[in-house]
């Protein structure tokens, strides 16, 4: 895709304390050669000095292409973003919050996917950057839950649906009828894009969360609205308006609560009896939260090292020996359980290994006949010298634990 201009839409409401700093960050961040910036600020009828701060930045940066519009009444983030989309002239559009939670230095990695025609939509995922921290567990797990529901409903893995950093081909975004006024913009645009069969790619981004005292505005109601919209647009008319009118907020809240209850009941019914659920709940959530309280300053990798022991070294070896797009034929449970094995057998569980090695894809020998990735395998992982059936390796001398690159695989 030929991108000459990136339109950066910044919705702002009472962000006088941070708007200037984020604008300087956006103005000064380098972009790939030949791409200029169009900065569009939509002031959602702020009552503080947001307008004054923007004016000062404009005066001190006369060469920056800054468009400032103040709405006559407070309509919500979604309405502000939709207003910005109408004003955008760039070939690509990204949403940038007016606070300091997101880092404009991540623009280039996202742009590169559009430039290379790898996709039409890129989301910046806070989850994929394991060094990120969060101000509230409720926001973290709420976001993970929304992303999980999105992945189930639309059959595409999304790790961070609520992320602010959403980048689109401008022509695509302008063609989608968006109607949400508040934080419902995120689930609405995600659902409508996925309903069109368009793939969303994700890249890791940096995240610096702020607290409610610092101005974080999202509430539980917005999470309920997100669930409602995801379910609505999965099966409903994607052109139908969902704008709220005055006097309907009680009915809207009741609908959202009902949608949350139904979603929780469905998840409880469908997943609670699966072994994977018990692993996630008991082994991942409980143990990870215990570790976080006991060792608050440890990184993700350090916590995994404590948890997995010798298993961690093998997973680290696989992660360092394979590219992120690798499709790995993973050892069977019997290979890990071989007598004299140094492993504790935790990584014989594919779910554990998949989480650690993401975004690499894993295929078990038992899945070869059914997996769509079976003929795309790029690497074969060996543990305890056990070679999978049907695999021919380039050498007769096989170390106990190793990974080989393969050009093709035959069943």
* Rounded-to-integer distance, Cα 113 and Cα 167, Å: 10
Quote the tokens at residue 325. 């797009």
**Do residues 245 and 316 share a domain?**
no
Q: Region 208-215: what's the mean pLDDT?
A: 66
**Angle between the N-to-C axes of helices 220-235 and 137-154, in degrees from 0 to 180, rounded to the nearest 10:** 0
Q: Per-residue pLDDT tens for 227-237?
A: 888 988 888 77
Pairing type for strands 166-169 and 66-70 reads: unpaired
Helix (H, G, I), strand (E, B) or coil at 403: strand
Quote the tokens at residue 197. 């069969």
What pLDDT is stored for residue 346 in this prediction?
64
Q: What integer best gives the mean pLDDT of the chain? A: 82
User: What is the DSSP-derived secondary structure letter of residue 71?
Assistant: -
Q: Give the burial string for 339-364 (b: 16+ CB within 10 Å, else e).
A: eebebeebbbbbebbeebbbebbbbe
Cα separation values, 137 from 115, 234, 289, Å: 36, 28, 10
Q: Of 238, 256, 274, which residue is a domain's last?
A: 256
Cα separation values, 325 from 130, 314, 349, 411, Å: 18, 19, 21, 21
What pLDDT is stored for residue 303 in this prediction?
66
Q: Of 216, 236, 256, which residue is a domain's last?
A: 256
Q: Region 187-205: what's the mean pLDDT?
A: 94
Domain assignment of residue 91, yes or no:
yes
H-only helix segments in 116-219? 137-154, 170-175, 185-195
CB 64 within 8 A of CB 39: yes
What pLDDT is stored for residue 336 in this prediction?
79
Q: Region 211-217: what's the mean pLDDT?
A: 57
Q: What pairs with residue 68 in β-bridges? A: 41
Which of 158-172, 307-321, 382-396 is predicted with the least confidence, judged by mean pLDDT? 382-396
CATH code at position 74: 3.90.550.10
**Do residues 79 and 214 share a domain?**
yes
* Rounded-to-integer distance, Cα 395 and Cα 373, Å: 25
Domain assignment of residue 295, yes or no:
no
Domain assignment of residue 292, yes or no:
no
Domain assignment of residue 18, yes or no:
yes
Quote the tokens at residue 393. 């390796």
**Do residues 248 and 315 share a domain?**
no
**Do residues 20 and 168 share a domain?**
yes
CA nearest to 35, candidates 65, 14, 58:
65
Q: Per-residue pLDDT tens for 259-279?
A: 667 766 666 665 555 555 555
Query: What global pTM score does this model have?
Result: 0.61
CB 378 within 8 A of CB 343: no
Q: Give the burial string for 14-35 (b: 16+ CB within 10 Å, else e).
A: bbbbbbbebbeebbeeeeeeeb
Domain assignment of residue 128, yes or no:
yes
**Do residues 15 and 99 share a domain?**
yes
Is it the case that residue 55 has pLDDT exceeding 90? yes
**Do residues 101 and 214 share a domain?**
yes
**Do residues 143 and 36 share a domain?**
yes
Domain assignment of residue 269, yes or no:
no
**Do residues 230 and 364 share a domain?**
no
Is it the case that residue 246 has pLDDT exceeding 50? no
Helix (H, G, I), strand (E, B) or coil at 410: coil
**Do residues 224 and 133 share a domain?**
yes
Count the domains in the chain: 2
**Do residues 220 and 359 share a domain?**
no
Residue 320 structural domain: 309-405
Strand order in the sheet with 121-125: 66-70, 36-43, 5-12, 92-95, 166-169, 121-125, 200-204
**Do residues 174 and 247 share a domain?**
yes
Q: Per-residue pLDDT tens for 85-98?
A: 999 999 999 999 99
Q: Of 195, 227, 256, which residue is a domain's last?
A: 256
Is it the case that residue 126 has pLDDT exceeding 80? yes
Domain assignment of residue 334, yes or no:
yes
Is it the case that residue 223 has pLDDT exceeding 80? no
**Do residues 146 and 237 share a domain?**
yes
Domain assignment of residue 341, yes or no:
yes
């Amino acid at each position: 895709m030929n991108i000459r201009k990136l339109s950066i839409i910044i919705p702002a409401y009472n962000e006088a304390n941070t708007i200037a700093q984020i604008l300087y960050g956006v103005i000064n961040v380098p972009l790939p050669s030949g791409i200029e910036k169009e900065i569009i600020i939509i002031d959602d009828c702020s009552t503080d000095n947001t307008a004054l701060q923007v004016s000062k930045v404009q005066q001190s940066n006369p060469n920056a292409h800054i468009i400032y519009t103040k709405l006559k009444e407070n309509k919500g983030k979604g309405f502000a973003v939709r207003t910005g989309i109408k004003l955008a002239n760039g070939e690509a559009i990204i949403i940038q919050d007016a606070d300091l939670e997101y880092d404009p230095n991540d623009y280039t990695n996202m742009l590169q996917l559009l430039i290379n025609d790898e996709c039409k939509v890129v989301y910046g995922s806070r989850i994929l950057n394991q060094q990120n921290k969060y101000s509230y567990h409720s926001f973290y797990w709420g976001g993970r839950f929304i992303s999980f529901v999105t992945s189930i409903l639309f059959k595409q893995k999304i790790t961070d649906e609520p992320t602010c950093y959403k980048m689109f081909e401008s022509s695509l975004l302008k063609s989608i009828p968006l109607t949400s006024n508040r934080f419902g913009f995120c689930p609405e645009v995600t659902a409508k894009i996925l309903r069109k069969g368009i793939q969303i790619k994700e890249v890791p981004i940096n995240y610096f969360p702020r607290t409610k005292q610092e101005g974080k505005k999202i509430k539980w109601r917005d999470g309920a609205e997100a669930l409602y919209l995801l379910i609505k647009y999965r099966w409903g008319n994607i052109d139908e308006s969902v704008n709220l009118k005055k006097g309907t907020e009680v009915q809207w809240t009741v609908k959202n609560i009902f949608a949350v209850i139904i979603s929780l009941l469905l998840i409880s019914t469908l997943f609670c009896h699966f072994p994977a659920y018990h692993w996630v709940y008991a082994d991942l959530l409980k143990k990870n939260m215990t570790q976080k309280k006991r060792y608050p300053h440890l990184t993700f990798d350090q916590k995994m090292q404590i948890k997995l022991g010798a298993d961690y070294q093998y997973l680290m070896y696989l992660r360092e020996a394979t590219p992120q797009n690798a499709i790995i034929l993973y050892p069977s449970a019997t290979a890990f359980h071989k007598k004299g094995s140094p492993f504790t057998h935790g990584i014989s569980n594919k779910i554990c290994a998949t989480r650690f090695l993401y975004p690499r894809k894993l295929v078990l020998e038992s899945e070869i006949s059914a997996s769509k990735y079976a003929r795309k395998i790029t690497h074969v992982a060996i543990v305890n010298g056990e070679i999978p059936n049907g695999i021919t390796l380039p050498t007769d001398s096989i170390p106990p634990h190793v990974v080989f690159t393969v050009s093709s695989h035959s069943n």
